[in-house]
Structure formats: C-alpha cells, structure tokens
Amino acid sequence: MHKEHTLTKNQQIIFDLIDKSSEPLKAYSILFNVQKKGIKAPLQVYRALDKLVEIGKIHKIESRNAFIACHNSSCQVAKATAFSICEICEKVTEISSAGLSKYLANFKDKDGMKYSKYNLEFFGLCKKCR
C-alpha cells in the first residue's frame, strides 16, 4: 500500500490525467491536456511528475520517456519496477510478480552487491498484437 500523500492541486490534476489514461503519457502531451486547467509551462508538469514518481504514484517508462500510474498495490518500493512493453501497439503493463521482485531484490552481482532499486523493461508483443 502506498503511503498516503495529499497531492497539491497541480499534482492532482496531472495524476488524474495519467491515472485515467489507458496508455503512458508523455510530458508535453500532459502539458497540452492540462493547459485548460491553468497549467501552462513545462516546468509545472515536470515538477509534478518528479514528485509523483518520488512518492510512487506514477512510474517513468525510461525507454519511452512516458509516465503511467502505478496500479500495483503491492508496489511498496516505488523504485523497484518491472514492465512489459508491446513493440507494436506500445501498450505498457506493470508486472506484479512476487517471484520476479524477490529474485531481483536478492540478486547479487559478482562483487556480492545487492540492489533494492531497479527498473526492468521487457519488450515483446502483447496478446492482441501476437
């Protein structure tokens, strides 16, 4: 469960937009869509995005420079994320697998180092596109 954060006005507007989107949204597409709500500048968007990522309400899909809402209630560590990305339709799904997260959290590199933060992006074809 996510720690409860009271979102500010800008954060709430931008989170709502991302949360109800069926696909990852890019920063300037978000900007375009919230201009009618008074958010006029890129920085206002990026500041809200930064905060939302920090508190785990959204995640950034690094390979796409886009953002999706976290729908994974067990995503306790906001910084340990895994996604599947369809290379045709660009559908992105957050992977919620206890086995995977356990494996990665326990993975040790050759220096014996463990990592609690990671981002994993799988690429392939989604059900519809196969």
Partner DNA sequence: TAACACTGTGTAATAATATAACATTAATAT
Partner DNA sequence: ATATTAATGTTATATTATTACACAGTGTTA
For position 100 contacting its own copies by CB under 8 A, the verdict is: yes
The residue (of 63 and 74) whose beta carbon lies closer to DNA is 63
- 3 state DSSP class of 91: coil
For position 71 contacting its own copies by CB under 8 A, the verdict is: no
Please say whether the beta carbons of 39 and 21 come within 8 A: no
The residue (of 30 and 75) whose beta carbon lies closer to Zn ion is 75
Site for Zn ion in 26-85 (CB under 5 A): 70, 72, 75
CA distances from 8 to 25, 41, 84, 85 (A): 20, 17, 30, 31
The strand pairing partners of 30, in sequence order, are none
For position 35 contacting DNA by CB under 7 A, the verdict is: no
> How many Å apart are CA 27 and CA 102, to the nearest integer?
32
Please say whether the beta carbons of 120 and 82 come within 8 A: yes
Q: Which residues bind DNA (CB under 7 A)?
A: 6, 8-11, 26-29, 38-44, 46-48, 50-51, 65
Binding site for its own copies (CB under 8 A): 62-63, 79, 84, 93, 95, 97, 100, 103-104, 107, 109-111, 113-124, 127
